[in-house]
A and B are shown apart, each in its own frame.
Chain A
Amino acid sequence: MNRASIQLSKDKKALRKAKREFNITSIRKDVWLYILLIPGVLHFIIFKYLPMWGVLIAFQDYNAYLGFLGSPWVGFKHFIDFFSNPDFTRLLSNTLLISLYNLAFGFPAPVIMALLLNEIRSQWYKRSIQTLVYIPHFISWVIIASLTYSLFNSQGVVNKYIIQMGNNAIPFLTSDNTFRGMIIGQTIWKETGFGTIIYLAALSGVDPQLYEAAVIDGANRFKQLWHITLPSIKSTVVTLLILRLGHVLDNGFDQIFLMSNSLNRNVSDVFDVYVYTIGITRGAFSYSTAVGLFKGIIGIILIYSANYLAKKAGESGLF
């Protein structure tokens, strides 16, 4: 061994020692910060990471009496059961259809509304509209489902008008044909207004000089929209679209569960509701965890692929 390499290894050792000492002093200096972290970290471990570890019961025949450690391992049995179950295709298509409708109608709605709001010149009118349309976001799904029931049941207001016009009452709440429409309608009613906030913020950051220049160049309002306004919210739209794609298999348990009943079960059975009925109501813990895990893994794959594609397309992506 020559002298240079001895020197080098000594340096490395000294460096490592210095680093360790630095780490110790910096931990000592920040000791209060670490103490502050304790409750939060415990919370994450207990309520977020312990359940993640608990998904392993999807590979067991979990038995509450034997517990997590005592229950026998069965490999992919529950997944095979699930995929070969005739329910599977029904659940998958119900889930995907609701998501697709939501993507097609629910996603563009706030973009369009933000663009329309942006065209309003009277500030007080704009502000009053905003004040009103943000409200439903803060109202619980229970209340929104209740409102829907009281407006759309067979003796509800909507059907009163339909009957007055000489038609038969439409069973909005209990028919397979109307279920998806009702769900999308509720989502649009509840979230469109609130969804505009993020786009309006992006729009308020646009330099007004761009519009002035466009006007001088003879651009009409539609051209200004097309060449200035839309490009300025493009990256926000892409970011939110990525997030949305990661949740294609989540339909929102609360909403669907509240709107489902025995007569529309054919179309209202989605993964989230199925996990609840099979798992909590019937106690098939392992099987329903397998269903949930399947959903979660597809979600991760989707969100990472959407992010990858967004980056490929020249957007900044999420991570």
Chain B
Amino acid sequence: MKIKRSFASIVFDTFNYVFLGAFACATVLPFLYVLACSFSSEKEILQRPFYIIPRHISLSAYEYIFSSITLPRAFLISIFVTFTGSAIAMFFTLTMAYPLSKKNLLGRNVLLGMVSFTLVFGGGMIPSFLVIKSLGFIDTFWALLLPGAISTWNLLVIKNFFQEIPQEMEDSARVDGCNALGTFVRIVLPLSMPVIATFTLFYAVGYWNDYRSSLLYTTDNKKWPLQLVLRQIVLMAAGNIDGATFDAAYTQPPLEASKNAVIIFGTVPILLVYPFLQKHFVKGIMIGAIKG
């Protein structure tokens, strides 16, 4: 089929292709530049403007990073928090979402009302801090793992997904003598594997990227995750720039290249899971959007 296109239409299409292509480039180029910088010498970073292939490959930035235990330790802490956190979060979210998906559960509407209310109002930073403090969670991993263990949004989306599973499948299991727990574990969860994968990844990304909990609840800098150390390194380097002062705890300024190497450290794990994430998240978002 051939459609006759007007001149204006062709002009628009050209502009559209170029514009979106440029936008897409703008999202990746900063990362490529930082990656190149992390392998460059200090001199090259200072002298050359934008580039994505360094003239001389230098590993000094990575040597600097691994010369102290701070960054490798922070990296391991982040990995630990990410894995344990997303496991805990999925446990809390799935176990709560399943009963809430049962329309004839007594007290369901009250619970759903209470859950939804947290979308529009929250206690805020200081009362949450005081609660964490009085629980004795300051400077423990619990403070990084538990407060974010249920995202209300994710909970409601998963609840909606459970509601879509045909009740007949569960009924047949019940007739065969399975109780609600057995039905949940043996029928519902296996049917929800794609959703479970999606939201585990969502939570994992959230825990990996989270720096607010550690900023608020961790005073001991030996327990800092990567994001907080990264912030300190960035702020510390930036402290020398333009005369601005930051309340940075470090005293030793890092190399410009190692700052870039740290950024790469924080980004690469996300980019590694991104292909898996991308396969599912569009669907994950839409389950929630259809029956918000």
Contact = CB atoms under 8 A, between A and B. Distances in A.
Given A51-B124, A201-B286, 17 more contacts: A32-B184, A33-B102, A43-B92, A44-B114, A47-B131, A48-B123, A50-B123, A50-B131, A54-B127, A55-B127, A129-B23, A141-B211, A142-B228, A150-B34, A201-B282, A220-B6, A275-B126
Contacts, number: 279
B231 A198 contact: no
B245 A262 contact: yes
A44 B126 contact: no
A197 B128 CA distance: 33
Nearest to B270: A138
A131 B189 CA distance: 29
A119 B13 contact: yes
Given A37-B111, A119-B16, A197 B205 contact: no
Contacts of A116: 16, 19-20
Interface bin, chain A: 35 or more
B262 to A, nearest CB: 8
Interface residues of B, number: 101
Given A52-B123, A116-B16, A150-B259, A23 B106 contact: yes
A51 B16 contact: no
A244 B120 CA distance: 11
A46 interface: yes
A134 to B, nearest CB: 7
B250 interface: no
Contact of A133 (B23, B118, B270, B289): B23
A41 B112 CA distance: 11
A150 B260 contact: yes
Interface in B133-161: 135, 146-147, 149-150, 155
B67 interface: no
A32 B181 contact: yes
Contact of B24 (A37, A129, A160, A198): A129
Given A150-B260, A280-B216, A289 B127 contact: yes
7 contacts: A54-B123, A135-B27, A153-B241, A173-B244, A201-B282, A239-B292, A292-B126
Contacts of B21: 129
The 5 tightest CB contacts between A and B, nearest first, are A51-B123, A40-B96, A54-B127, A292-B124, A140-B209
A189 interface: yes
A316 B285 CA distance: 20
Contact of B49 (A143, A161, A254): A161
B115 to A, nearest CB: 7
A44 B118 contact: yes
Interface stretch (B55-63, B191-199, B271-279): B271-279
Contact of A138 (B26, B120, B211, B274): B274
B66 interface: no
A221 B7 CA distance: 12
B242 A173 contact: yes
A80 interface: no
A66 to B, nearest CB: 13
B50 A157 contact: yes
B127 A51 contact: yes
Contacts of B270: 138-139
Interface in A134-174: 134-136, 138-143, 145-147, 149-151, 153-155, 157, 160-161, 164, 171, 173-174
B242 A55 contact: no
Contacts of B105: 30, 33
